Amino acid sequence: MAFLCKLESAPILRWLKDETFFSLCSRQHHVLGLLDTGSTLAWLYGPGCRAITHDFPGNLDSLNRRATAHWGDVESIIHDHTILPVFCPFQSESRIAAVETLMRSPSVGSIKYQLGLLTSRFRAEHPLRACLYCMAEDRNTHGVAYWHRTHQWPGVLLCPTHGCALSECPINRQWSGRFRWVLPDERWLDSIELPVSSASVLVSISNMILGLAELGKSTSFNPALVSQVYRERLHLMEASGSRGIDTASSFVEHISPLQPHPPFTSLPLTPEGASVFIKQMTRKPRGHCHPLKHLCFMSWLFGELSSFTAAYEHLRSIRSRPHGMQASSALSPVGLKQDVVTSNNRVTSRRPKKLKPHIRAGIIQLLKAGVIKNLICARFDITICTLNRIVRSEPGIQDMWTEYRQTENLATHRAEWRRTVKENPNASTNDIRTISPSLYAWLYRNDRDWLTIQAQQLPTGYRGNHSSVDWERRDCVLFELVSSTLERKIDLDDTDNPLQNLYRLVPSLSRSLEKRGRYPRTRALLKQIKSGSYRPDDACLKQGQEDQRGRS
C-alpha cells in the first residue's frame, strides 16, 4: 500500500526539446524506479493494458490524468511527439482521422496497413535511432540521453545537427523479444557505415523529410494534382533534351546512392524498373503510397520540397480560378505548362476539328451506351486522346459512361462468381480464390459487401487440426541450437549483454520463448547465462547434449 501511495505522488517529468512520447515514458519508467515494464504500463494506462509500440503508441485516451495534465492533450502528443506527421500530407483527412482514432484506442490494430506501410516496400518497421554526439550533449545539458524525434523520421539516416550516421537500437524490434522501456545507450547501439559518396543525397532527402514533417496535418496534397504536377515537370524535362530510356537512366543515376541503404532498398536499379516507377507516379492515382516514394521522385524532378510545393500551389490556384481565366494561363511561374481543364460542368471553347458533326454525335451516343473506349476508337479511326478530349468537353458524359461500365462489370463478375461456385459445389471461399484469383480480387475491391454475403454461403473449408506437438523434442532442438551458438560465436566474458547477442544470433529464440510454460531446459540454460554461472563444460549442457544424442 505504501508503494502504491508513493507511485501516486511520484514526480511527473516534462518534455525535453524534440523528444518522442516513447522517450518520455522511458525516462518516467526510470524515475518511478519500477523494475518491470508492465508496472510502468499499468501506471500510465491502468491495469490490464497492452504494450505499446515506440513509433505509433496507442491507448492514449487512457493515459494517466496526472501525466496528461503536464504533457498536454492527446492530439498534441500525437502530432508533436510521434512520427505520424510525416505521413499526413499524402493521406486524406479522413484517413488521418481514422489513424488518430486507432492511436487513442486500446489497440492500434491495422494502423500501418491504414497508412499503406505494409504494401509500400519501404519497410513498416521503424527502428530506434540515436546520434552519439547528441547523446553526449544531452547528458551534459539534461543529465540523460533521450530519443530525438528528428532522428526517428523514416528515411533520416544522418543527424541533421552533426551530419554523422545515426546508430540503430535493436531493442523493441520485431525479432528482439518483449517490449522494454529503454533510453539511448552505447551498449546496445549498432553503428551504421555510410559511404561518403552517399552523403550529399542523404542530406538532401533528409532535409525534404524534415520539411514534409513540418507540413504535417496542416497540409493535405490532392493525389490527382500531385500526379499532374509530376507529369508536367517530366514533360518539361523531356522537352529540354532527355527522352525515353534516357529519362529512366537519369532517375536511376540520381537514386543509386540511396538504394543500398534501408529503407530505400526497394528503389529500382535498372532503367526498365525506373520506367515502371515513373509511370506509377505519373498515372492516375490508385491510392496513397509511402511518402518516401514521393520524396525520392521529387528530389529528382525538383531538387527540393519547396520547388514542388510552389508548383503544386500554382496548379491548384489555376484549378480554382473561374473557367475563362484558366485558358489564359499558358505557362506557370515555375515553368510548368498548364492544361486547360473543364470544371463545374462548363464546356470549353472548341478549336477546329477534323471530326464531322455526325461523327461526333455517333461517338457521344456510343459513350452514353457505355461502349468500351478502345472499340469506339477502332470504329471511328481516332486516337484515345481525341476521344478523351470529346469526353472532357461534354458535361456529364464521363459520369454516364463510368456508371454504365461499372454496372456492366458488376453483372459480369457476379455471373462469373456464380458460375465458378456452381462448377465447384464443395469449394470454400479460399478454394474459389485459388481457382480464380483475379475474379476474387476484382469483387473484393469493387463489390465487397456482395462478396461477403456470397462467401458466408460457402463451406468454410475447415478440416480441423489433429496434429500433436512434441514440445520436449522442440526443447531439445532449441537447447542444442543455443548451445552450439554459444560455443561457436559468443565469448560471454567479452560482452556486456550476452543474452542480447544470443537473441540476435538465434532469431527463433525469442518467438519460441513466448510459450511461457514450454522449453524448460532452454530456459534453465538462459537463466545460467543471465546469472553469470554458465560455463562451456557445465553439467546441464553435457546432459542436454547426451539427451539429444539419445533421441537421435
The torsion angles phi and psi of 500, rounded to 5 degrees, stand at -65, -45
Instruction: State whether residue 172 is helix, strand or coil.
Output: coil
Those residues whose C-beta lies under 8 Å from the C-beta of residue 203, and which sit 6 or more positions away, are 158, 163
Spatial distance between the Cα atoms of 546 and 525, rounded to a whole number of angstroms:
15
Amino acid identity for residue 15 in this structure: W
Q: Alpha helices, DSSP H only, in 457-497?
A: 471-489
Note whether 295 and 155 are within 8 A (CB): yes
Note whether 63 and 21 are within 8 A (CB): no
Note whether 347 and 394 are within 8 A (CB): yes
Query: What pLDDT is stored for residue 493 in this prediction?
Result: 53
Note whether 534 and 526 are within 8 A (CB): no
Grid cell, residue 343, equals 470544371
Query: What pLDDT is stored for residue 503 in this prediction?
Result: 77
Task: Tell me whether the omega of the peptide bond preceding residue 263 falls within 30 degrees of 0, making it cis.
Answer: yes
Note whether 293 and 208 are within 8 A (CB): no
Amino acid identity for residue 257 in this structure: P
Instruction: State whether residue 182 is helix, strand or coil.
Output: coil
Q: How many CA atoms lie within 13 A of 36 on its CB side?
A: 5
Tens of pLDDT along the chain (552 residues) come to 444 455 677 889 999 999 999 999 999 999 988 878 888 999 999 887 878 899 999 999 999 999 999 999 999 999 999 999 999 999 988 899 999 999 999 888 889 888 888 888 888 889 999 999 999 999 999 999 999 999 999 999 999 999 999 999 988 887 667 889 999 999 889 888 888 888 888 999 999 999 999 998 889 999 999 999 999 998 888 776 544 457 888 999 999 999 989 899 999 999 999 999 999 999 888 777 899 999 999 999 999 999 999 999 998 888 876 654 554 443 344 444 334 344 344 444 444 455 678 788 888 888 877 788 888 888 888 888 888 888 888 888 888 888 888 888 888 899 999 999 988 888 888 888 888 888 888 898 888 889 988 888 888 776 655 567 788 888 998 898 888 888 776 555 555 666 777 777 787 887 788 777 888 998 888 888 877 777 665 544 455 455 555 554
Note whether 89 and 208 are within 8 A (CB): no
Alpha-carbon Rg of the chain, whole angstroms? 30
Grid cell, residue 10, equals 511520484
Query: What pLDDT is stored for residue 494 in this prediction?
Result: 53
Q: 271 burial class (0-12, 13-18, 19+ CB within 10 angstroms)?
A: middle
Query: What pLDDT is stored for residue 12 in this prediction?
Result: 92
Spatial distance between the Cα atoms of 437 and 425, rounded to a whole number of angstroms:
18
Element (H, E) at 129: strand 128-130
Every domain of the chain and the residues it spans = 221-326, 347-392, 401-456, 471-551
Query: What pLDDT is stored for residue 362 in this prediction?
Result: 83
Note whether 172 and 26 are within 8 A (CB): no
Grid cell, residue 45, equals 494506462
Grid cell, residue 222, equals 490532392
Burial 154-183 (b: 16+ CB within 10 A, else e): bbbbbbbeeeebbbbbbbbbeebbebebbb
Note whether 291 and 264 are within 8 A (CB): no
In angstroms, the Cα distances linking 458 to 13, 422, 432, 433, 463 are 57, 11, 10, 12, 14
DSSP codes, 183-240: ---GGG-B-----GGGHHHHHHHHHHHHHHHHHGGG----HHHHHHHHHHHHHHHHHT
- Residue the block writes with cell 525534404: 208
Query: What pLDDT is stored for residue 89 in this prediction?
Result: 94
